[in-house]
């Protein structure tokens, strides 16, 4: 069972996990971005760094092979630990590399972005892109622990925070009308690290509860695609026109579109729909790539 730890004291938390784990080697996987801005925040002795190129275009088999080779060169065994320090690309690829190296070694996810904390780092989906298709190859394998920390959020551009906030909003829509209403009037630019952590303590368990009931996405887990069906269409069209948009922005627009359909087909509350549309317009702009 995956354990999620909420802590803004990333060093002591990770150090405690390592000390209690009886590992013969500890590797830390970063991409070139998190190696520069996040890895220096760790003060741990004896870790073996592995750095991969940043960017979704590098979420492929060649990069996984490079990680496997680095584990071999570093003396990795089944008693080793891989710490994935980064966003969704790092946790997806790192989780897949760990799950397949030596038929599986333990790994810990330390998401450095809000989007990764509420989405990719939790739930046990790992994988890489292949043949032009996203996450085409992968396995369901949960990190032993996910350390959720807002200490990294100060390194993020505001657009990246907003992108992750769309997933937080989605979780509230799936779980609590009161939480949803509160989030619609939340100014994310004014949240402190501790306030972010409190918000994540409310949001992440929503996904955990759904995943626990349907770990391999046979039915119920598909509700987590709320906003994504239309959102992915927005993303694809934007890419085709050479004007890519952040994933969370597309999801936010997808939430509005799908809620309009819910209003027409199932009588979703019109006032809530209006509040959602206004919030998304003000926080994420409108979808205009003409």
pLDDT at 154: 86
Residue 123 burial (C-beta neighbours within 10 Å; 0-12, 13-18, 19+)? buried
Query: What six digits make up the tokens of 134?
Result: 């996203």
For the domain that residue 82 is a member of, what is the CATH number? 3.40.50.1970
pLDDT at residue number 190:
86
- Asked if 84 and 200 sit in the same domain, the reply is no
Q: What is the pLDDT of residue 79?
A: 97
Select from 124, 150, 108 the least CA-distant residue to 215.
124
Does the residue 290 lie in any domain? no
Note down the domain range covering 161: 157-284
Q: What Å distances lie between residue 225 and 66, 83, 252, 257, CA to CA?
A: 32, 27, 12, 13
Same domain, 130 and 208: no
Helix (H, G, I), strand (E, B) or coil at 271: helix
Exposure class string for 126-143: b at 16+ Cβ within 10 A, else e:
bbbbeeeeeeeebeebbb
Q: What is the pLDDT of residue 21?
A: 87
- The domain boundary residue, chosen from 153, 188, 215: 153
Q: Helix, strand or coil for residue 135?
A: strand
Whether residues 110 and 168 share a domain: the answer is no
Residue finishing a domain among 115, 138, 153: 153
- pLDDT at 289 (0 to 100): 57
CA-CA distance, 95 to 146, in Å (whole number)?
A: 12
Task: Give the contacts of 204 (CB within 8 A, at least 6 positions apart).
Answer: 4, 117, 118, 122, 148, 171
User: Could you tell me if 129 and 164 lie in one domain?
Assistant: no
| Per-block mean pLDDT, blocks of 10 residues, the chain (290 long) | 92 93 95 95 92 94 98 98 97 98 97 94 94 90 96 88 94 95 91 94 95 92 94 87 89 96 95 95 79
Number of domains making up the chain: 2
Exposed/middle/buried for residue 253 (C-beta within 10 Å: 0-12, 13-18, 19+):
buried
Instruction: Output DSSP code: residue 140.
Output: B
Distance CA 107, CA 109 (A): 7
Which pTM does this prediction carry? 0.92
Angle between helices 158-175 and 193-213 (to 10 degrees): 50
Q: Residue 56: CA atoms inside 13 Å, Cβ hemisphere, count?
A: 10
């Amino acid at each position: 069972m995956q354990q999620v730890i909420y802590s803004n004291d990333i060093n002591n938390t990770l150090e405690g996990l390592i000390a209690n784990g009886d590992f013969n080697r500890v590797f830390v996987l970063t991409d070139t971005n998190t190696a520069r801005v996040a890895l220096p925040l760790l003060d741990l002795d004896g870790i073996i760094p592995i750095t991969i190129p940043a960017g979704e275009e590098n979420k492929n088999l060649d990069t996984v092979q490079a990680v496997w080779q680095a584990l071999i060169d570093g003396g990795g065994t089944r008693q080793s630990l891989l710490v994935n320090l980064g966003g969704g690309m790092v946790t997806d690829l790192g989780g897949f590399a760990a799950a397949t190296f030596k038929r599986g070694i333990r790994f810990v996810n330390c998401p450095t972005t809000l989007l990764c904390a509420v989405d990719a780092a939790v739930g046990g989906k790992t994988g890489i892109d292949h043949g032009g298709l996203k996450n085409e190859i992968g396995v369901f394998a949960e990190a032993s622990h996910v350390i959720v920390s807002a200490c990294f959020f100060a390194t993020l551009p505001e657009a990246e925070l907003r992108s992750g906030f769309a997933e937080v909003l989605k979780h509230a829509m799936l779980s609590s009308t009161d939480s949803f209403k509160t989030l619609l009037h939340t100014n994310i630019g004014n949240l402190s690290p501790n306030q972010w952590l409190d918000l994540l303590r409310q949001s992440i368990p929503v996904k955990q509860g759904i995943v626990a009931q349907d770990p391999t996405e046979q039915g119920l887990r598909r509700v987590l695609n709320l906003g994504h069906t239309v959102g992915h269409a927005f993303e694809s069209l934007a890419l085709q026109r050479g004007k890519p948009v952040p994933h969370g922005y597309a999801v936010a627009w997808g939430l509005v579109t799908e809620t309009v359909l819910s209003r027409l087909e199932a009588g979703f509350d019109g006032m809530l729909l209006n509040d959602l549309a206004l919030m998304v317009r003000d926080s994420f702009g409108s979808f205009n790539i003409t």
